[in-house]
Amino acid sequence: MNNIEKNISVKQYNTFSINAYSNNYACFNSVEKLEELLNLYQQITNSQQNSFLILGGGSNLLFTSNFDGLMLKNEIKGIQVIKEDEHHIYIHAGAGENWHQFVLYCIEKGFAGVENLSLIPGNVGASPMQNIGAYGVEIKDVFHSLEAYHIKDKKLVTFTLNDCEFGYRESVFKRKLKGQFVITSVTYRLNKVPKFNTSYGAIEQELKKMGVTELSIKAISDAVINIRSSKLPDPKVIGNAGSFFKNPEISSSQFAVLSSQFPNIVVYHLPNGNVKLAAGWLIEQCGPENGVSWKGYRKGDAGCHEKQALVLLNYGNATGKEIFDLSEVILQSVKEKFGVVLEREVNIV
């Protein structure tokens, strides 16, 4: 098959370390190479209705079965400043760049805006697709534009901020344009003068513990790295995809009912008047049986992290189906207790 390999294990390509197989696999480091592989695959299969999976860092995928299509690993690299104005730096990055390394690069250069997003696993290309966010910052806050290759029309298209239709862990690429485009590069608009965001989570507390007296983007990044490292397991040590579920958003009237029943419920009040619940807290209050929490739960090699119930784990040889089935019973237990339906943040393959 020339550049396309057959029956390749995807275990090393997903942070859950699920040992599934892809019927066809190839990697590309340019738009031209991507186009060449797509054309080759269509010639071989003699069909325009092909199944594709674009692989980045593999940090937001759960393989519940083998993939019977063409898996393409995005390895487009390169970081460069393309323009600047009085207040901003516009920095262009290939979709195959590692996200955390990109953040560290920006911090080293003094480009502010992504420091709160330190240590998030995955690649640059996934950042706008997921509208990744942490500690009060989302990609939409620093996003300028992206380029994406339209698989059917075989051309590059530029997307602006409005085109991407960003929402909470959402974008147009996860909904109506799902599977139609391959993100090849992203341009971010970063600040020359930092606008520090330390109000979310335990950042201020961590900065005090670190003895920081003069705030900087490096100090905030270090604080975020410390917090994430203390709460979240390293995928290189134990298989996981970070937060498995989204924090659900409910109406203020629904919250009024819930808070009367559960006075300690953890919430974040939103500008639109709605309320966002902490999915981790909801899951902790539930469990497989009375008196037992999902937090720290384990069945075989599938389980929940002992420090954060929002994180599902593969302790070694769990299958994707076992992880998925665990997520199903967690969803059901939260729905039964709170009347709230959680949504998976991880993409199921």
314 vs 327: CA distance, rounded Å: 12
With the C-alpha atoms ordered 143, 149, 153, 155, is the resulting torsion angle positive or negative? positive
42 vs 68: CA distance, rounded Å: 14
Q: Which of 208, 218, 227 is nearest to 134 (CA)?
A: 227
* 3-state secondary structure at position 314: strand
Determine the pLDDT at residue 1.
41
The helix, strand and coil proportions of the chain, stated in percent and rounded to the nearest 5, come to 30, 30, 40
Determine the pLDDT at residue 46.
64
Reading the block at residue 89, the tokens are 């730096």
Q: Which of 241, 251, 236 is nearest to 312 (CA)?
A: 241
Reading the block at residue 200, the tokens are 């979310």
pLDDT tens sequence across 290-332: 677 899 999 999 999 998 899 999 999 999 999 999 999 999 9
Determine the pLDDT at residue 181.
93
Grade residue 172 by pLDDT with cuts at 50, 70 and 90: very high
pLDDT tens sequence across 84-124: 999 999 999 999 999 999 999 999 999 999 999 999 988 99
Determine the pLDDT at residue 292.
79
**pTM (two decimals):** 0.85
pLDDT tens sequence across 216-274: 999 999 999 999 888 888 888 899 998 899 999 999 889 899 989 999 998 888 888 88
Domains of the chain: 5-74 (3.30.43.10), 79-231 (3.30.465.10), 239-348 (3.90.78.10)
Note whether 75 and 28 are within 8 A (CB): yes
130 vs 139: CA distance, rounded Å: 9
Residue with tokens 């008196």: 291
- Residue 292, classified by CB atoms within 10 Å of its CB into exposed (0-12), middle (13-18) or buried (19+), is exposed
154 vs 38: CA distance, rounded Å: 9
Residues noted as catalytic: 169, 243, 345
Segment holding 32, helix H or strand E: helix 31-45
